[in-house]
Structure formats: C-alpha cells, structure tokens
Structure 1
Amino acid sequence: MKFAKHVFVCTNQKEAPKKSCGAEHGAALLDAFKQELTQRGLQKEIRAQRAGCLDACAFGPALVVYPEGTYYGNVQVADVAELVEKHLVNNEVVERLKLDF
C-alpha cells in the first residue's frame, strides 16, 4: 500500500436548500489537512484528498479516514491539528467528531 492512511474530505456541492460539505468549507478543510501533513513531514505516508459525496452531508463538513473507515462530521478547520495528531499519528479516534451510522 502506497499510503498508510488516506483522508477523504467531502467537497461536494449541492444546490440549495440541501446542505453540502463543499459549501460548508470542505475545500478549506482539505487545504488545512494538506498543510498540516506537509508541516509534519507526513505527506508521503498519509494522503488527504477531495472526495465527492460521502453520503454524510447532513453531518457535514464530513470526512472519512481509511483504512479504518472512520467517519467524522461537523469538522472545523480548527479540528485538523487534533485529527492529525490523535487519529492519523497516534491511531486514536476523536470521539467528539466521530459519526456512528
């Protein structure tokens, strides 16, 4: 496997009045993840990339981390450093943001 972990950030745009992660700063989240991973020198081990609909826009902005398949919702740019440190580096789920389907 090329990457140890993969973060897919929903950047999907839906027409109003439907809620969409893209309209709720999905692109800013993706940029924040890329910046944080680069600053920590993790960009070759962990990849963050845009995703289409993760079917979690009602809980958005949403993202999913693989290989675990852990979904997170209502993620804010201020949460990125914590998600990187706890989940991506230390394999600890951030319970306050975790989505349970």
Structure 2
Amino acid sequence: MSDSDMSTYYQHHVFFCCNRRPPGERTCCADKGADRVRDYAKQRVKALGLAGPGKVRINQSGCLDRCEEGPCVVVYPAGVWYTYVDEEDVDEIVEQHLQQGRIVERLRLKDRA
C-alpha cells in the first residue's frame, strides 16, 4: 500500500483522548467520561452504517495534550479538534461533520498558534 493509499484509507479517522492520570495530577479526559462516550460513538457509527474502510473509524488515543480543554476528540484527515459534554454532542459531530462534512463550530476547539 502506498503512502497516498494510507492517507485515504478512512474518510474520517476519529481519535478520542482516553488518557487516565493518577488522582491528584492534572485533569484527564478519562475522568470526564471519555471511555463511555468513545464506546457510544463506535456503536453509533456502526448503527448508521458509517464504519469501515473508506468510511469512518473511531479509535481511542493516549493523551492528546488538550485535556484541560476537553474531553477532546480530533477528526482526521481534516485535523478538526472538538470537545464534548455528552452523547448528544457526539451525535451532532457524527451527523454534521462525519455525515454532512460541516464543522460543528460550537464544539470546535480553537487552533493553537
């Protein structure tokens, strides 16, 4: 598989930060329900028939280093970063961004300079 094939294997590759830190350290996405919401997103994408090669892949990641702004998720190849509160926010990201190609501005994290 060439590099160009690798970059388009998924239309959208979505990474949920599921980092967990020991109690008393700085905040982490796992403390904000990231595992639960990631599992929900995986189920939702599958139920809508969006999962698989050429479509959408939901993954967890280690620390994305934006936990203070989050919980956070990033959608590639666009490189759009989101935060969310609950499953309803993820539904909006799935419907607007993954299905319709529109960025959900109200959930978007600002780009870092």
TM-score between the two structures when normalised by the length of structure 1: 0.93
Matches within 5 A, 1:28-39: 28-39=36-47
**Percent of aligned pairs with the same residue?**
38
2:56 to 41, 46, 52: 46
Distance 1:73 1:59 in 2: 7
The structure with the largest alpha-carbon Rg is 2
Corresponding residue number in structure 1 for 2:5: none
Give the 5 Å matches for 1:1-101: 1-17=8-24, 18-44=26-52, 45-100=55-110, 101=112
1:75: how far off?
3.8
Structure with a larger share of its residues in helix:
2
For residue 16 of structure 1, report the CA deviation from its aligned partner.
2.9
Post-superposition CA distance 1:42-95 (Å, at most 9, x none): 111100010011111001110000000000124422211111010011111111
- Specify the SS of the correspondent of 2:36: helix
Distance in 2 (CA, whole Å) between partners of 1:36 and 1:61 is 19
When normalised by structure 2's length, the TM-score is: 0.84
Q: Please say which of residues 73-82 and 37-46 is displaced more in the overlay.
A: 73-82
Give 3-state SS (helix, strand or coil) of 1:81's partner.
helix
CA RMSD of aligned residues (A): 1.1
Helix, strand or coil at the partner of 1:65: strand
SS at match of 1:22: helix
Which secondary structure does the structure 2 equivalent of 1:48 belong to? strand
**Structure 2 CA distance for aligned equivalents of residues 20 and 85 of structure 1:** 26
